[in-house]
C-alpha cells in the first residue's frame, strides 16, 4: 500500500521525495517474504528511504530539465512584420520599436532576427506591396 501511495504522490509532484520511500517500501516486500519482524521492516524503510533521498535527489534534480517561463516576446524572433513608420513595426498585431542597418519604408515586409529589450532587430525580406 505504501508503494502505491508513494508512487501516486510522486506522479502529482516533481519534488522527488516520495519516490525514494516508495522504492524503500518495495524492498520491504522482500523482507516481508523473508518473515522479518516489523521492527526490522521499519528500520529498513526509514534508513533506506533516507539514504536514497540524500544520495539520488540532488543527482535527479540536476538531470531534470530547467523550467523557463515564456513571456509574450519570446516567440517573436523569426516572425514577419510590416513597417508602419520610421520607428515602429507591426508584428502579430502589436506595434514594436525596431532597429535595422538598412533604410526601410512604410509597408516594407521584415523578419525579426533578434529582440533587444523592447526593440526588435529586423531585416528587410521583400519590397513593399503596392
Task: Dump pLDDT digits (tens) for 35-92.
Answer: 989 899 889 989 998 998 888 888 877 877 776 666 656 688 889 999 999 889 999 8
CA 52, CA 122: separation in Å to the nearest integer? 52
Q: What is the pLDDT of residue 3?
A: 64
Closest C-alpha to 28, from 2, 10, 7: 2
The residues facing 91 across adjacent strands are 81, 94
Q: What is the pLDDT of residue 21?
A: 81
Per-residue pLDDT at 1 exceeds 90: no
Burial 78-88 (b: 16+ CB within 10 A, else e): eeebebeeeee
Q: What is the pLDDT of residue 15?
A: 67
Q: What is the pLDDT of residue 127?
A: 59
Share of the chain above pLDDT 90, in %: 26
pTM of the model: 0.44
Closest C-alpha to 84, from 66, 71, 67, 97: 97
Q: What is the pLDDT of residue 72?
A: 58
Residues making up the chain, counted from first to last: 130
Per-residue pLDDT at 130 exceeds 70: no
Amino acid at each position: 500500500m505504501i508503494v502505491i501511495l508513494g508512487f501516486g504522490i510522486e506522479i502529482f509532484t516533481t519534488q522527488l521525495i516520495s519516490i525514494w520511500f516508495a522504492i524503500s517500501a518495495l524492498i520491504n516486500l522482500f523482507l516481508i517474504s523473508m518473515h522479518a519482524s516489523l521492527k526490522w521492516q521499519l528500520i529498513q524503510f526509514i534508513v533506506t528511504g533516507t539514504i536514497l533521498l540524500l544520495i539520488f535527489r540532488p543527482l535527479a534534480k540536476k538531470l531534470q530539465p530547467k523550467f523557463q517561463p515564456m513571456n509574450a516576446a519570446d516567440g517573436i524572433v523569426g516572425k514577419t512584420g510590416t513597417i508602419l513608420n520610421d520607428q515602429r513595426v507591426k508584428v502579430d498585431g502589436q506595434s514594436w520599436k525596431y532597429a535595422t542597418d538598412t533604410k526601410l519604408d512604410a509597408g516594407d515586409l521584415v523578419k525579426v532576427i533578434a529582440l533587444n529589450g523592447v526593440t526588435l532587430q529586423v531585416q528587410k525580406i521583400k519590397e513593399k506591396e503596392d
